[in-house]
Structure 1
Amino acid sequence: MSEEPPALTAAEELALARLALDEGDLTHAADHLAAALVLAPTLPDTHETLTRIAAASGGGLDLFPLGQRAHIGAVVARAHLLAAAGRPAEGLDLLVAATGHAPGVDWAAVPWVTDPDLAGRLDPERCARILMQVCAAAPDPVPRIGRAPLQPYLTLARHAVAAYPRHALLLGAASALARRLGEVTLAVTWASRGVRLAPSKLGEVWLGYAYRSAGRTREALAALERAVGHDPDDLAVYADIAGTLADHGRLDQALGWIDRALARDPTFDCAVHTAHRLRFLRDGDVGHLVALADFTRDHPDDSHEHTDLAESCRSRPWLGQVTPATGAMVDALRRALAADGLPDAAVHLDSLEPPSAMRTVTAAVPGLYVEVTGVADPDPREPRRATECRLWRYDGTTAAPTLPTPSTAAADRVRQLAHPAWPHPPAAYDAAVGLATLDLADLLGLLVHPPEPPPTALGRVLTGQDPSLWVRCAQVWACLGLLHHRTDEEWATSTRRRVLVELIWGVEDWITEAALFALVTAAWVDPAVRADVAGLVAERLADVAAVAQDRPVPIAVSLAHLALATPAVDPTTTALAHRLLVAPARAGRPGRLGRAWRRLTTVLRRRRRRPVRPG
């Protein structure tokens, strides 16, 4: 099989374009020119060649037609030719479309866009619409590193405001763009002027956003409330007001605004999303988030993307992340890593810890000496209930897997998918569909033979910071894969339910947590199984609490968090979970859990922002 030829450079594409032009082959000249524009959109030679092609073809527009599959370079070339033909507004429309497609490219950094005379040749209302299109294509705010390609549009806005200083819509649109690009003072100035000239709902919204970005909350709220006065039926503004109030700790007032919106339309998506998020903030009841997940599933055609569910789950145990393990063994592992791999002289255990913990730590710190001085009752080497799915066998206090290693393909699949964080449980379920084709034997084998971390930044971080977290990731995703096993089977008698239930009642282990999380996830995505899963979670937590009366249970805190993440769990189980969480001395020192995760999240996470309405 022949190798793909290397991609051409902009200079090479231009050379081919000029050669085709000299031969009179205008179609191929245009194709190579479009390719060069993508590679070097501001290169003077590119634009000089485009001018030659236009001159040779009587304008060149026919060489760069638009269509459903138009090449982005052809779209940009046509934009420049439209501007040269005295149709700059149409050209700007196409440049903005290119910016929306590839916002990090300097499509607009060309002289005709930043020409001070351009704005005067544009209708001010059309110019405002063009700036609004730029805003719709840009994040809010635009990260500093991504602002340069949008600066030519802000220069156009400055020139347009200078040319039409009393056009309210233009002032507001210019304010919205300035705010996104960090020019907050300018945004406030322009929006204020626009509102004074022609008070309107949209103008007040732009002003409210500008004030909010400037940290002037009281004035922002006043502007948004005036917007409601202009249009009491625009419920998105109610949600904006509620979000702003909540961000400043005024939760009761925020909920008041959301209740007003829902009284007008109980199905309005922005209000529903905000309501559930704020109610969860108020009382911590996961039922609000489950209801939001249900609403999102049942209303796939919302007005725009919402992130309230992901925001609410972010950084919360099991709702948005794997909880780091606790116990003496992983504490010794973290101390060894902090000491550049030098282990303590010995770890003395009064009772056995989970087999995954024992094997992970001894593998990561080969020189660590572990002494188990006793085996407390109930015996942690025995399953909590009779099961046919026994993953571990013991020789004294040493555990070994009972299953063979999984296939290389299965290990690679999990290595590609496993991650310690997810937006919310339904998103984790959806992502795990990539494991649906794995055999049951492979999925179970992955639990006791987790693959090596991937050769990626994530893998290097986990290896260096906490190898135990990677093992837990692999186990969690293998259990999520079990949820996709034979989905044609009815839940109550399905293989996936039977295996997961056997896993939660097996030997106390990290696998118990992973399997229980998979069951909880099933309840999030399928209301029909919620009562069943809630009952299983209640039974398993009650058993943990009973065992914890006699000996330490390192997985108890994690299972308590899982119970609090379970849809439709009963109040008695919720109260028991809270009691386990406030008894860290018996249940596993959760403070260390939080510190371990924070060390990792400084490297793994990027800050996400809740999008506001376009404008």
Structure 2
Amino acid sequence: MTEGRDEPALSTAEELALARLALDEGDLRGAADHLTAALVQAPTLPEVHEILARIAAASGGDLDLFPLGHHAFVGAVVARAHLLAAAGRPAEGLDLLVAATGHAPGVDWAGVPWVTAPELVERLDPDRAARILMQICAAVPDPAPRATRAPLRPYLTLARHAVDAHPDHALLLGAASALARRIGEVTLAVTWASRGVRAQPSKLGEVWLGYAYRSAGRTRDALAALERAVGHDPDDLAVYADIAGTLADTGRLDQAIGWIDRALARDPGFDCAVHTAHRLRFLRDGDVAHLIALADFVRDNPDDTHEHGDLAECCRARPWLGQVTPAAGAMVDALRRALAADGPPGGAVRLAALEPPSAMRTVTAAVPGLAVEVTGVADPDPREPRRADACPLWRYDGTVAAPTLPVPSTAAADRVSQLAHPAWPHPPAAYDAAVGLATLELTDLLGLLVHPPEAPATALGRVLAGQDPSLWVRCVQVWACLGLLHHRTDEPWPDSTRRRVLVELVWGVEDWITEAALFALVTAAWVHPEVRPDVARVVAERLGDVATVARVRPVPIAVSLAHLALATPALDPTTTALAHRLIGDGAVGPHRRGILTRLWRRLTAPFRRP
């Protein structure tokens, strides 16, 4: 469906006025066009339906005035639904209303008298009514977001009338229960599903009852119903996955995995079982190898029966798996204090050791009045690259760093500003999203690392600018490095420009860029199994170097690199143990963790799914 015409939108009153004028002139097509535009804006307004009735009377109920096609206008779909109902074909009309609900669930398409009239069910076969209710359920999430529940209530009224008319129809009772559950009417859902199972025991009925019990918090009853469903049909492995998910929600991971193993024994390639198995095993032991195996399965099986969210669920809010980690160090702590304080920005910070150049430049730019004193430069000198052949991005005048590269093009800055975000569903999704940077020149991608553009004037940009500008800089650096993964992809990995540049960045001056480049390499390993041994070797060498340096001086990026190591495919056990030790040694204190948690909640609030 489409939302409407390309012309500037008129108000409902203006559209209705034009529809009346067209009717008076005998232009039924024009009247229909304006009526459908008004219907989209005010689907329950009596004046809209009055003019629709006039058009129907003048045209003899001509449905062709509201055509359906490959790109049907949603207003035409809804108008046609009302005409079908008026012509004694309410089931067909409901099918179209449900389609409109699926297209725009938050609009009250069904809030009209004929849908909620008790006599409607007299013209609906109960099987057809059940199928309509199931179509509604398929069109909305479970549970439905609160903002979309009110527009679904007319359908619930229809379900009540249908159940009253056919109190022992098992399929209808189960479908009605599924709709009630989505709207939050959990007690009603349990009542209807229970009646359905009593009327006619079946696998589907027990599944509906199990879901209703689960929504009501009655886990034991839910599991009993789902296990009875397995008894009806032992080959429906999706129910095994439902049981496993229910057990996992109550912390019974071993039992949950036992059910998934039973499903996999019957069909090792069943997608729901594979997704659930990897998710549950990751929840049990935290080994990222389970998520990498799941990512491999997703890549090798693009035609799954339906979309799964297990990988994204496991990666959500985890360092580098699903989000940029906030920067650590005295400079960014001073930045956060300055932004949180009332009054003009300023103050002073005294550093016992020089911090990453990105941190120094970001903080001094964000807090111009901040006085920074560096009392010493410890060995190994953090101003020197960790390897001589590293990419030279910075030059130092004493303890003040300046970029060696020119400012990137405006086009490159605009492109990364559109893409950069501190969160992603999982590393392969971040890789796919970064393809939008594939056409940028290498000099631009490198320039973005040291000349990040200002945060955009969006909800995301405003939150970052007001709460923690360092996070925006890190976003730009991460996405620029992900863009490097798409540079000259025709070159074989071992001798490619993208690998060479990223490895040089990894071994450059200790900086946020080190983290961004290493994340890009780790992402490449997630997406391309053949590069995993090479990337694991680079990660192991870089983390080993960090651990060596950390014995003699602070390394602000150490904990973040350790989290990156734990996200790396095929990492050796020794490096894995080293990463855990570095995270433990550099654990975030309770006070700072609270600050970052509050920031992250505020940052992601506008972008969370409803």
TM-score, normalised on structure 2? 0.96
Letter matched to residue 60 of structure 1? D
In structure 2, list runs of 5 or more residues that go unmatched: 1-5
Match of 1:293 in 2: 295
Match of 2:431 in 1: 429
Cα displacement string for residues 194-239 of structure 1 (whole angstroms, at most 9, x for unaligned residues): 1111111111111111110110000011111111111111111110
The one-letter amino acid paired with 1:537 is V
Alpha-carbon distance in 1 for matches of 2:390, 2:327: 26
CA shift, 1:118, in A, is: 0.7
For residue 434 of structure 1, report the CA deviation from its aligned partner.
Answer: 1.1
Which one of the candidate residues 333, 338, 354 is aligned to 1:336?
A: 338
SS in 1 for 2:49: helix
Aligned counterparts of 1:191 and 1:459: Cα–Cα separation in 2: 47
Could you say if the C-alpha distance between residues 333 and 283 of structure 1 is closer, same or farther in structure 2, counting changes exceeding 3 Å?
same
Q: Which residue of 2 aligns with 1:599?
A: 598
Distance in 2, matches of 1:258 and 1:433, equals 36
Q: Give 1:202's aligned amino acid.
A: L
Partner of 1:220: 222
Q: 1:593/1:297 Cα in 2 relative to 1: closer, same or farther (>3 Å)?
A: farther
Q: Any idea what the Cα deviations from partners look like across 1:133-177, whole Å, max 9, x if unmatched?
A: 000001111111211111100010011111111111111100000
Q: Which residue is 2:236 aligned to?
A: 234
Distance 1:536 1:549 in 2: 21
Counterparts of 1:610 and 1:283 in 2: how far apart (Å)?
Answer: 27
Shift of 1:404: 1.2
Letter in 2 for 1:38: V
Moved over 6 A (4+): 607-611
How many Å separate the matches in 1 of 2:187 and 2:606?
24
Cα distance 1:229–1:599, how it changes in 2: closer, same or farther (>3 A)? same
Letter in 2 for 1:335: R
Q: How does 1:53-72 map to 2 (within 5 A)?
A: 53-72=55-74
The one of 45, 50, 70 equivalent to 1:43 is: 45
Alpha-carbon offset, residue 533 of structure 1: 0.5
SS of the equivalent of 1:605 reads helix
Q: Determine the structure 2 residue equivalent to 1:208.
A: 210
- Is this contact kept in 1: 2:438–2:483, CA < 8 A? yes
How far apart are 1:592 and its partner, in Å? 6.3
Confirm or deny: 8 A CA contact 1:432 1:481 kept in the other structure: yes
Unaligned runs of 5+ in 1: none
What residue identity is the alignment partner of 1:200?
S
State the shift of 1:255 in Å.
0.2
User: Are the counterparts in 1 of residues 324 and 475 from structure 2 also a CA contact under 8 Å?
Assistant: yes
Aligned to 2:255: 253
Q: How does 1:389-400 map to 2 (within 5 A)?
A: 389-400=391-402
Q: Report what 2:523 is aligned to.
A: 521
**Mapped pair 1:380 → 2:379:** no
**Is contact 1:332-1:343 (8 Å) kept?**
no
Is the CA contact 1:225–1:241 (under 8 Å) kept in the aligned structure 2?
yes
Deviations 1:65-98 (A, max 9, x none): 3222222211111111111111111110111011
**How far did residue 610 of structure 1 move?**
11
Identity %: 83
Match of 1:444 among 443, 446, 463: 446
Q: Aligned-pair distance for 1:596?
A: 4.2
- Give the equivalent residue in structure 2 for 1:265: 267
1:416 equivalent in structure 2: 418
Q: Which amino acid aligns with 2:597?
A: R
Cα distance in 2 for residues equivalent to 1:14 and 1:178: 36
| Paired letter, 1:600 | L
Contact 1:195/1:203 (8 A) holds in 2: yes
Q: Deviations over 1:11-62 (max 9, x none)?
A: 2222222222222222222222222221221111211111111112222223
Aligned to 1:283: 285
Question: CA offset at residue 591 of structure 1?
Answer: 5.4
The CA distance in 2 between the partners of 1:535 and 1:593, in whole Å, is 33
Verify the 8 A CA contact 1:341 1:365 in the aligned structure 2: no
Q: 1:521 offset after TM fit, Å? A: 0.5
CA contact (8 A) 1:323 1:593 kept: no
**1:370 match: secondary structure:** strand
**Do the aligned partners of 1:204 and 1:226 also contact (CA within 8 Å) in 2?**
yes
Deviations 1:387-433 (A, max 9, x none): 25200011111111111111111111111111111110011111111
Q: CA deviation at 1:380?
A: 0.6
What is the alpha-carbon distance in structure 1 between the residues aligned to residue 469 and residue 604 of structure 2? 18
Kindly report which structure 2 residues correspond to 1:1-16, keeping only aligned pairs within 5 A, or say none: 6-16=8-18
Secondary structure of 1:379 counterpart: coil
**Equivalent residue for 2:321, pick from 319, 322, 343:** 319
2:542 and 2:298 map into 1 onto residues whose CA distance is 30
State which drifts further: 189-198 or 384-393: 384-393
Aligned partner letter, 1:601: W
After TM superposition, give the deviation of residue 378 of structure 1 in Å: 0.7
Partners of 1:589 and 1:251 lie apart in 2 by 28
Q: 1:406 aligns with which of 387, 405, 408?
A: 408
Is the alpha carbon distance of 1:291 and 1:5 closer, same or farther for their aligned partners in structure 2, counting shifts above 3 Å? closer
Q: Select which of 475, 480, 483 maps to 2:482.
A: 480
Rounded to whole Å, the distance in 2 between the matches of 1:582 and 1:526 is: 30
Residue-by-residue CA offset, 1:300-344 (whole Å, 9 max, x unaligned): 121111110001001110000100111111111112122136567
Q: Which range moves more in the overlay, 360-369 or 76-85?
A: 360-369
User: Which amino acid in the other structure matches residue 17 of structure 1?
Assistant: A
Aligned to 1:453: 455
Equivalent runs, 1:503-582 vs 2, <5 Å: 503-582=505-584
SS at match of 2:119: coil
* One-letter identity of the residue aligned with 2:87: A
Contact between 1:326 and 1:590, CA under 8 Å: does it hold in 2? no
The one-letter code sitting in structure 2 at the alignment partner of 1:43 is L
Report the residue type matching 1:199 in the other structure: P
1:607 Cα deviation (Å)? 10
* Structure 2 SS opposite 1:367: coil
Going from structure 1 to structure 2, the CA distance change for 1:396 and 1:333 (only over 3 Å counts) comes to same
Residue in structure 1 matched with residue 3 of structure 2 by the alignment: none
Deviation at 1:609, TM superposition (A): 10
Report 1 or 2 for greater relative contact order, CA contacts < 8 Å, sequence distance ≥ 6: 1
Instruction: Give TM-score, length-normalised by structure 1.
Output: 0.96
Please give the per-residue CA displacement for 1:523-567, whole angstroms capped at 9, x wherever unaligned. Answer: 111111111111110110011111111111111000000000001
Counterparts of 1:5 and 1:179, CA distance in 2: 40
Q: 1:20 aligns with which of 14, 19, 22?
A: 22
The number of equivalent residue pairs is: 605
- CA shift in 2, pair 1:596/1:375, >3 Å: same
Q: Is the 8 A contact 2:107 2:148 kept in 1?
A: no
How much does 1:5 deviate?
Answer: 5.6
1:169–1:606 Cα change, 3 Å: farther
2-structure distance, mates of 1:424, 1:259: 25
Cα 1:54–1:123 change in 2 (3 A) is: same
Distance in 2 separating the partners of 1:520 and 1:592 = 30
Please tell me whether the aligned partners of residues 106 and 147 of structure 2 are also in contact (alpha carbons under 8 angstroms): no
Contact 1:453 1:463 in 2 (8 A): yes
Aligned-partner residue type, residue 603 of structure 1: R
Change over 3 Å in CA distance of 1:560–1:451 after alignment to 2: same
